[in-house]
C-alpha cells in the first residue's frame, strides 16, 4: 500500500503530465503530438491454465459491419477498465489476469470522425489488380522498414515495436474462448540469409523505400538471395480482455491486438507506436504494411492502399492481402516536427478480412484495429514498463 506522503506526489505528477499539448501549425502531413491517458496495472491474479484446444484461425468473422460499429454506444469509464484489463500467458504455461486503472481519460478522447461513405466492395481478398509487392533479396528484406516484419509460428505476421517486443493480432494467439495450439511455445521468425546464399551486391538509391511505398520509381528486386527464418521464443503474451469478452463474433474485434515479449533482444531496428490519426490526415490518405501471406510461402509481401471508412476503433481499406498477413503492423510515414525528420509509426494492426451479412447478402471488408490513445497507453506500458515514457502519442 502507498504511504500517505507518496500519494500526493503521485497525484501531482499525473496532473503535471496532463498539461495540454503544443500543436504545430504546419500544413504538411505531420505527427501531431498529443497527451494520452495513463493505463496502469493494479491487481494481478492467477488464472487456471489454458487448454490450447484449437489451431489459430487466420481470418476473422463478425456479425457487425461498419454501420453496426458506428451505432454502438460508446463504452463507459468502467467498461473501458474492464475491456483494457488483460491476460498474460507465460512461456511456462501459467496464466495471470491484471486489472487496470485509467487516469486522465476524457469521454470522446478516443473518438475520431468517420470520413468517407459506404462503398461497394468486391467479394474477394484481392481487389481488382493484385497490388502486392513480394520483397526479395537480403538488401531489401534486411532494410528498414521491411526488416520490422516478422512471422509467428501460429501462421500470422507481426511487427517489431521494441527491443524485444512484437505487436500482432489477438486472434493469432487466442480464439476468443481459449488460447490456440502453439501459443504456449510461441516463436517469432526473423528472415536472415542462408549461409550458402549466392549474394550479389545491389546498390539501392537513397530514396528506395520512399519509391516502393507509393512514390515514383521502378522496383525490381534480386531473386538470387536465399533466406531462412531464425526463431526466438516468446516469454510473455499480453491479450486485452476486450478481445476475450468479445470473442471475435461481435464488437470485440475492436480489441484484436496482442503484444509478445521475446526471451531475448532481437537486435534489429523497430518501429515506433503512434496514435492513429483520421484517415483524411494521412499522406495521400494511404496506409502501408508488410506480412507473410500464405499464398506466397516464405516471402515477405508489402502493400499500400487508400484508407476508406473508419470508426473510433477500426479502419477499413482495400489493401490486397491473404491469410497469414493478419497481425501485420499498419503504418504511416509523416513529418516529425520535433525531430525534424520523416518518420514511420505503427498506427494499427491488420486484423484481416471481415465477412458480414448485410440485408441477406454476404459482404467482405478489410479491417485494421486502430491504435487509439487508450490502446497506445496500454501497449506502450507493456513495452516500457512505466507510464512516464508513454505520455506522447
Q: Which positions are catalytic?
A: 171, 250, 326
DSSP-derived secondary structure for 86-109: EEEEETTS-EEEEEEEEES--TTT
DSSP-derived secondary structure for 202-217: ----TTHHHHHTTSSS
SS3 182: coil
* 362 DSSP β-pair partners: 357
Q: Which three three-digit cell numbers place residue 189?
A: 521468425
Q: Residue 356: which of 250, 260, 272, 274 has the closest Cα?
A: 250
Q: State the Cα–Cα distance between residues 337 and 32, nearest whole angstrom.
A: 8
CA angle 320, 351, 110 (to 5 degrees): 120
Q: State the Cα–Cα distance between residues 189 and 147, nearest whole angstrom.
A: 11
Classify each residue of 374-389 as buried b or exposed e, where b means 16 or more C-beta atoms within 10 Å of its C-beta: bbbbbbbbbbeeebee
Q: Where are the alpha helices (DSSP H) in the chain?
A: 6-17, 66-71, 77-84, 138-141, 208-212, 241-246, 373-384
SS3 360: coil
Q: What backbone torsions phi and psi does residue 72 show, to the nearest 5 degrees?
A: -65, 140
SS3 84: helix
Cα–Cα separations (whole angstroms), residue 179 to 19, 50, 237, 280, 293: 40, 6, 10, 37, 22
Q: Residue 261: which of 239, 245, 280 has the closest Cα?
A: 239
Q: Residue 275: which of 208, 211, 210, 347 has the closest Cα?
A: 347
Q: State the Cα–Cα distance between residues 135 and 299, nearest whole angstrom.
A: 7
Q: State the Cα–Cα distance between residues 195 and 211, nearest whole angstrom.
A: 30
Amino acid at each position: 500500500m502507498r504511504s500517505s506522503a507518496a500519494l500526493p506526489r503521485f497525484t501531482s505528477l499525473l496532473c503535471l503530465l496532463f498539461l495540454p499539448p503544443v500543436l504545430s501549425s504546419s500544413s504538411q502531413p505531420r505527427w501531431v503530438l498529443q497527451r494520452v491517458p495513463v493505463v496502469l496495472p493494479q491487481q494481478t491474479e492467477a488464472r487456471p491454465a489454458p487448454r490450447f484446444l484449437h489451431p489459430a484461425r487466420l481470418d476473422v468473422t463478425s456479425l457487425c459491419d461498419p454501420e453496426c460499429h458506428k451505432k454502438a454506444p460508446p463504452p463507459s469509464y468502467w467498461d473501458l477498465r474492464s475491456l483494457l484489463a488483460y491476460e498474460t500467458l507465460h512461456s511456462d504455461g501459467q496464466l495471470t489476469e491484471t486489472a487496470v486503472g485509467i487516469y486522465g481519460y476524457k469521454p470522446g478522447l478516443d473518438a475520431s470522425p468517420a470520413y468517407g461513405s459506404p462503398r461497394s466492395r468486391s467479394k474477394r481478398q484481392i481487389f481488382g489488380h493484385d497490388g502486392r509487392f513480394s520483397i526479395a533479396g537480403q538488401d531489401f528484406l534486411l532494410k528498414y522498414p521491411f526488416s520490422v516484419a516478422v512471422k509467428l509460428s501460429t501462421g500470422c505476421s507481426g511487427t517489431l515495436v521494441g527491443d524485444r517486443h512484437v505487436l500482432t493480432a489477438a486472434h493469432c494467439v487466442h480464439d476468443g474462448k481459449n488460447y490456440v495450439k502453439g501459443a504456449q511455445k510461441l516463436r517469432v521468425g526473423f528472415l536472415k540469409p542462408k549461409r550458402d546464399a549466392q549474394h550479389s551486391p545491389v546498390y539501392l538509391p537513397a530514396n528506395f523505400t520512399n519509391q516502393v511505398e507509393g512514390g515514383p520509381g521502378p522496383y525490381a528486386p534480386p531473386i538470387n538471395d536465399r533466406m531462412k527464418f531464425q526463431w526466438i521464443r516468446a516469454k510473455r503474451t499480453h491479450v486485452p480482455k476486450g478481445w476475450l469478452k468479445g470473442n471475435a463474433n461481435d464488437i470485440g474485434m475492436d480489441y484484436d491486438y496482442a503484444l509478445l515479449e521475446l526471451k531475448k533482444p532481437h537486435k534489429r531496428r523497430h518501429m515506433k507506436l503512434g496514435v492513429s490519426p483520421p484517415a483524411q490526415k494521412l499522406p495521400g490518405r494511404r496506409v502501408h504494411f508488410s506480412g507473410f501471406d500464405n499464398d506466397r510461402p516464405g516471402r515477405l509481401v508489402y502493400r499500400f492502399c487508400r484508407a476508406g471508412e473508419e470508426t473510433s476503433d477500426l479502419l477499413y481499406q482495400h489493401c490486397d492481402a491473404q491469410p497469414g498477413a493478419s497481425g501485420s503492423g499498419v503504418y504511416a510515414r509523416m513529418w516529425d516536427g520535433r525531430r525534424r525528420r520523416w518518420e514511420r509509426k505503427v498506427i494499427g494492426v491488420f486484423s484481416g478480412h471481415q465477412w458480414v451479412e448485410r440485408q441477406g447478402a454476404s459482404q467482405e471488408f478489410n479491417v485494421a484495429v486502430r491504435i487509439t490513445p487508450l490502446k497506445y497507453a496500454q501497449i506502450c506500458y507493456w513495452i516500457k514498463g512505466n507510464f512516464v515514457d508513454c505520455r506522447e502519442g
